[in-house]
């Protein structure tokens, strides 16, 4: 009984941690930043709770509207950290049952907690913003449906990653789906990480080249706290810029209002004074930016190498590459959609969604397929076993043995000769065993059957029961 209570209390604590752990941690960090900003600015605490609630929703990608201007380009780094935190707590709460069947009852409760807790916090945040908007007229309440959908999507992605890391392979093995789906997921992860990492390296190199531009952007403020705020803002928006670089690397384009950037052409325009945007190329475009296409090819090679780890026949191998390319393209397109949006007077900021996802798929599928073929990821289809011949044909092919050719064989003529009478007698004397003569008498000397059933009178018998007296 004590063990059951201990296990139940531990599971309850895990569910509470999954439901409110990442959300409360983000809320505490946001509250500390907002209060520090208000303290440094010598401002009162009016509207502090509204600002904290708005920033908590902004961490989930919900646009913030202040003074009639919408900030829809939310930084991707807090969103990715929220997904990682949800995945980590969810994976820790899922019981590890080795190679056995996963406990779907517990998993359902864990997923429900991972989604229910943040939805409750989102409802409270919307209520706080609505109440603060009655005092601060410049603060506007975001759309409730958009807010709930964004919060649900972020935590659902984290819960799926956490549960999949613990029971994904076992669930696929128990399902009728192909066995190579897990390998396709690993290959998609490798392709996305390669594209993201190489694009980050290209962004860093571009910042070094445009160091003077970044220094000018820092010059818009003279205070130390202002420069620190610009640095924090630039760090938060690093994944957004890296996604734009990835779009350029696969042949698509990124834009900040009217300013458009691609590997082939650049159209200038006004950009926000954020230091990280100094990495954007300036016209006229030099030929070095065309080298970004090497990043797309190298990412496709990384995906193909993962697909070639387990050689397969041609059709399943191509199917694995296609599924991995589709997953990677879907993830990159989702990051591009979450990293874009409206930015006040600058207009829309983001990547060209019509070409970004298809371009990632084409690079990964074409280059990945060639890599699989060159890396030995293809095997020949096994030949079917030969069909068994009918029994009649086998019996017809077998020759019956010669009855008379048992002991002699003429080697020279390769023919068999029948045995003579003398040889037969000799063979019978040598081979056949000598049978002993058993004397047989007449049939009348045999004992009668009745004599065989004689009763042994010497054998003791059971005493008779006494007679009953009336």
Which residues neighbour 120 within 8 Å (Cβ) at sequence distance 6 or greater? none
Contact between 61 and 74 (Cβ < 8 Å): yes
Tell whether 352 and 208 lie within a shared domain. Answer: yes
244 and 108 within one domain: no
Q: Are residues 345 and 204 in the same domain?
A: yes
What does the alpha-carbon distance between residue 370 and residue 378 come to, in Å, rounded to a whole number?
11
Q: What is the mean pLDDT of residues 130-156?
A: 86
Higher pLDDT, 367 or 418: 367
Give ∠ CA 6-21-32 in degrees, rounded to 5: 140
Pick the last residue of a domain from 159, 176, 193: 176
Same domain, 140 and 219: no
Whether residue 345 sits in one domain with residue 234: yes
pLDDT digits (tens, 9 = 90+) for 208-230: 988 888 888 888 877 787 888 88
Say what the pLDDT of residue 101 is: 57
Would you say 180 and 255 are in contact if contact means Cβ atoms under 8 Å apart?
A: no
The reply to whether 225 and 136 lie within a common domain is: no
pLDDT per residue as tens digits for the range 18-47: 989 999 999 999 998 888 887 877 776 777
Q: Is the pLDDT of residue 100 over 60?
A: no
Same domain, 23 and 117: yes
The per-residue pLDDT for 77 is 93
Residue 298 near residue 192, CB atoms below 8 Å: no
Measured CA angle at 192 (ends 190, 198), to 5 deg: 95
Cα–Cα distance measured from residue 70 to residue 344, given in angstroms and rounded to the nearest whole number: 6
Residues 73-82 have a mean pLDDT of: 92
Q: Say what the pTM is.
A: 0.76
Question: Which of 80-89, 239-248, 300-309, 435-444 is the least confident region?
Answer: 435-444
Of 334, 361, 381, which closes a domain? 381
Specify whether 155 is located in the same domain as 194: no
> Containing domain of residue 132, as a range?
1-176
**Mean pLDDT over residues 359-385, rounded?**
85
Tally of domains within the chain? 2
Separation CA 432–CA 268 (nearest Å): 114
């Amino acid at each position: 009984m004590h063990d059951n209570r201990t296990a139940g209390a531990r599971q309850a604590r895990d569910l509470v941690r999954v439901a409110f752990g990442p959300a409360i941690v983000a809320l505490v960090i946001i509250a500390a930043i907002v209060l520090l900003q208000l303290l440094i600015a010598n401002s009162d605490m009016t509207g502090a709770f509204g600002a904290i609630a708005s920033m908590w929703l902004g961490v989930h990608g919900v646009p913030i509207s202040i003074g009639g201007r919408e900030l829809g380009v939310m930084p991707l780094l807090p969103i990715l950290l929220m997904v990682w935190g949800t995945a980590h707590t969810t994976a820790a709460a899922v019981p590890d049952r080795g190679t056995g069947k996963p406990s779907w009852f517990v998993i359902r409760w864990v997923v429900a907690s991972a989604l229910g807790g943040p939805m409750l916090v989102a409802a409270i945040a919307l209520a706080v913003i609505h109440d603060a908007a009655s005092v601060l007229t410049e603060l506007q309440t975001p759309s409730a449906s958009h807010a709930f959908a964004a919060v649900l999507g972020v935590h659902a992605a984290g819960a799926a990653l956490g549960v999949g890391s613990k029971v994904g392979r076992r669930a696929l093995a128990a399902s009728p789906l192909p066995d190579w789906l897990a390998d396709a997921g690993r290959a998609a992860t490798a392709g996305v990480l390669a594209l993201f990492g190489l694009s980050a390296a290209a962004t860093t190199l571009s910042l070094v080249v445009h160091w003077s531009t970044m220094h000018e952007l820092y010059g818009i403020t003279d205070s130390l706290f202002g420069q620190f705020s610009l640095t924090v803002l630039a760090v938060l928006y690093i994944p957004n810029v890296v996604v734009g670089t990835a779009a350029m690397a696969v042949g698509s384009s990124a834009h900040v209002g009217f300013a458009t950037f691609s590997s082939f052409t650049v159209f200038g325009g006004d950009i926000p004074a954020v230091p990280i945007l100094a990495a954007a190329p300036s016209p006229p475009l030099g030929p070095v930016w065309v080298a970004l296409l090497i990043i797309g090819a190298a990412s496709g090679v990384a995906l193909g190498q993962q697909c070639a780890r387990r050689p397969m026949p041609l059709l399943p191998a191509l199917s694995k590459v296609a599924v991995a390319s589709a997953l990677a393209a879907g993830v990159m397109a989702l990051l591009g959609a979450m990293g874009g949006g409206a930015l006040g007077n600058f207009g829309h900021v983001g990547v060209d969604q019509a070409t970004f996802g298809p371009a990632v798929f084409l690079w990964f599928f074409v280059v990945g397929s060639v890599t699989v073929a060159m890396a030995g990821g293809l095997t020949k289809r096994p030949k079917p076993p030969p069909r068994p011949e009918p029994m009649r044909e086998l019996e017809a092919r077998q020759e019956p043995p010669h009855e008379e050719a048992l002991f002699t064989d003429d080697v020279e003529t390769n023919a068999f000769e029948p045995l003579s009478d003398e040889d037969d007698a000799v063979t019978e004397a040598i081979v056949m065993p000598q049978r002993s003569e058993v004397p047989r008498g007449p049939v009348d000397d045999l004992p009668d059957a009745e004599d065989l059933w004689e009763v042994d009178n010497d054998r003791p018998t059971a005493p008779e029961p006494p007679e009953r007296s009336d």
